[in-house]
């Protein structure tokens, strides 16, 4: 919708990672430097971590565009909570190997043969593992074992691990991962964009889809947008999309701070900015495995509190209607010299009666709903 209104050739702030929109912030430039150094070593592990939405996947997609496919073969894995054997099979499939129904040993053999063939053809192999925080210690150990494959003294497989901040901490502190830690030759944690980078980021993405200055932006918008999003690219994209949509709906050619305030209030109401990820533990003791990441949970309002909020909103609406009736009555009295026509008086009285009855019925029904929800009765009994 807004892309047509503003004459754009596409959606500038889509949430799906797209290397064509890659913006080289300071932290991304550093990450690329570490990646370049790590890949030049042709062995071991490279680790990139960052908050959800910080641009890890976009960074890797940008890197993949730069890699010469004649010189390097890349397999990519996005993990769920895989055990060691499952990870071996998924890694094999990422290189196009058919290992369905094979046992772990056969899958490992297929991977090793493939790596040898690629080396003989003069190609290096890289395995990119995204969402590494979901992997168990057993699965991470399998990855370490894959990095052991060699042709003479030449390593056959290099690995790039991407993960959220908790993966960085687990990798640094877990006592069973010492051997893997020793294989890490380059690591970088993606930070948020700096305040001065937000305006160039917004304009860069708009220019990628043919932006010609419409809409324009008040300068205050960028500072407020940074304060609201913390400079996390995905959060910036969420707000910017809503801003452009509001601009198109209201047919604005300039995005101002009042529009941003409206959008942020709406998103706060919609809970569009949940906590990105659970905070890492202050002190990590020995653990049998990393296991799946458990999402942060938040206390939910009780049924009674939720219904009482609805009642309060209903009361406001009824009060507004009643006030409108009073004002209408006063207006008519003035217009008719202090008297109200009988038929209008009857209609006003009828409307007031209906409002009172509606209020009484709403409260009665909602009270029964509260009693049912808090009693735990079955639907049939209710």
Residue 151 binned pLDDT confidence (cut-offs 50, 70, 90): confident
- 6-17, pLDDT tens digit by residue? 999 999 999 888
What's residue 269's pLDDT? Answer: 82
Q: Mean of the per-residue pLDDT values for the chain?
A: 81
Percent of the chain with pLDDT over 90: 57
Q: How confident is the model at residue 382 (pLDDT cuts 50, 70, 90)?
A: very low
Contact 180, 140 (CB under 8 A): yes
CA torsion through residues 314, 320, 323, 328, sign: negative
Highest mean pLDDT among 76-80, 260-264, 286-290, 319-323: 260-264
Q: Answer with the residue of higher pLDDT: 1 or 86.
A: 86
| Residue 254 pLDDT greater than 90, yes or no | yes
CATH numeric code, 26-190: 3.40.50.300
Window from 72-86, 184-198, 362-376 with minimum mean pLDDT: 362-376
CA–chain centroid gap for 293, Å, is 15
Instruction: Look at residue 201 and tell me whether its pLDDT is greater than 90.
Output: yes
Mean pLDDT lowest among 91-105, 245-259, 336-350: 336-350
pLDDT in the model for residue 375: 53
Query: What is the average per-residue pLDDT within 164-176?
Result: 91
pLDDT score, position 346 = 67
pLDDT in the model for residue 2: 83
Question: In the prediction, which pLDDT does 212 show?
Answer: 93
Residue extents of the structural domains in the chain: 26-190, 303-375
What is the C-alpha separation between 188 and 33, in angstroms, rounded? 10
Greatest CA separation found in the chain?
A: 107
Q: Is the pLDDT of residue 107 over 90?
A: yes
pLDDT confidence of residue 298: 32
Q: What is the pLDDT of residue 294?
A: 32
Mean pLDDT of 289-308: 41
Closest CA to 112 of 129, 125, 130: 125
Identity of the highest mean pLDDT range in 117-121, 283-287, 370-374: 117-121
Checking if the pLDDT of 286 tops 50, the result is no
| pLDDT above 70 coverage of the chain, percent | 70
Read off the pLDDT of each residue in 199-228 and give the average, rounded to a whole number: 95
Edge-to-edge strand list for the sheet holding 184-190: 72-78, 124-130, 157-163, 45-50, 184-190
| N-term to C-term CA, the chain | 45
Predicted local distance difference test score (pLDDT) of residue 363:
60
Q: What pLDDT is attached to residue 293?
A: 33
**What mean pLDDT do residues 37-52 have?**
93
- Report the distance separating Cα 332 and Cα 321, nearest Å: 16
Using CA atoms, how far apart are residues 221 and 358, in angstroms rounded to an integer? 44
Q: With residue 138 as reference, give the H or E element that holds it.
A: helix 137-146
Indicate whether 341 pLDDT > 60.
no
User: What is the rounded distance in angstroms from the CA atom of residue 332 to the CA atom of residue 98?
Assistant: 83
Those residues with Cβ within 8 angstroms of residue 342's Cβ, 6 or more apart along the chain or in another chain: none
How distant is the alpha carbon of residue 32 from its chain centre? 22
pLDDT band at 355 (very low <50, low <70, confident <90, very high): low
Alpha helices in 19-76 (DSSP H): 26-41, 56-66
pLDDT of residue 183 exceeding 50, the answer is yes
- pLDDT number for residue 320: 59
The least confident of 38-47, 280-289, 316-325 is 280-289
Average pLDDT over residues 327-353: 61
Q: Which residue has the higher pLDDT, 379 or 217?
A: 217
Q: What distance in Å separates the CA atoms of residue 173 and residue 130, rounded to the nearest whole number? A: 20
């Amino acid at each position: 919708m807004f892309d047509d209104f503003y004459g754009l050739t596409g959606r500038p702030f889509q949430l799906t990672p797209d290397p064509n929109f890659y913006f080289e912030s300071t932290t991304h430039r550093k990450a690329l430097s570490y990646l370049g150094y790590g890949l030049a070593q042709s062995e071991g592990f490279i680790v990139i971590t960052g908050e959800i939405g910080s641009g890890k996947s976009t960074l890797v997609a940008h890197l993949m565009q730069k890699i010469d496919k004649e010189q390097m073969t890349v397999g990519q894995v996005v993990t769920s909570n895989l055990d060691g054997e499952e990870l071996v099979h998924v890694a094999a499939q990422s290189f196009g190997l058919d290992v369905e129904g094979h046992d772990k040993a056969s899958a490992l053999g297929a991977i090793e043969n493939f790596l040898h063939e690629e080396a003989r053809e003069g190609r290096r192999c890289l395995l990119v593992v995204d969402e590494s925080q979901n992997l168990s210690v057993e699965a991470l150990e399998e990855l370490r074992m894959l990095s052991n494959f060699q042709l003479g003294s030449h390593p056959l497989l290099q690995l790039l691990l991407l993960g959220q901040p908790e993966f960085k901490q687990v990798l640094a502190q877990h006592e069973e991962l010492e051997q893997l830690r020793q294989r890490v030759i380059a690591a970088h944690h993606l930070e948020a964009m700096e305040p001065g980078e937000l305006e160039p980021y917004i304009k860069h993405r708009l220019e990628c889809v043919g932006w010609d200055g419409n809409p324009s932006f008040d300068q205050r918008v960028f500072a407020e947008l940074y304060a609201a999003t913390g400079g996390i690219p995905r959060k910036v994209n969420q707000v910017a999309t809503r801003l452009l949509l509001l601009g198109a709906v209201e047919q604005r050619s300039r995005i101002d701070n009042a529009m941003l305030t409206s959008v942020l209030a709406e998103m706060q109401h919609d809970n569009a900015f949940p906590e990105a990820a659970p905070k890492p533990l202050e002190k990590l003791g020995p653990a049998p495995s990393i296991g799946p990441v458990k999402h942060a949970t938040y206390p939910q309002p009780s049924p009674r509190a939720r219904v009482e909020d609805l009642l309060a909103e209903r009361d406001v609406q009824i009060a507004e209607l009643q006030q409108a009736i009073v004002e209408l009555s006063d207006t008519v009295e003035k217009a008719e010299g202090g008297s109200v026509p009988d038929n209008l008086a009857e209609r006003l009285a009828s409307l007031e009666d209906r409002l009172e009855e509606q209020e009484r019925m709403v409260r009665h029904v909602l009270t029964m709903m509260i009693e049912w929800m808090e009693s735990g009765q079955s639907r049939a009994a209710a």
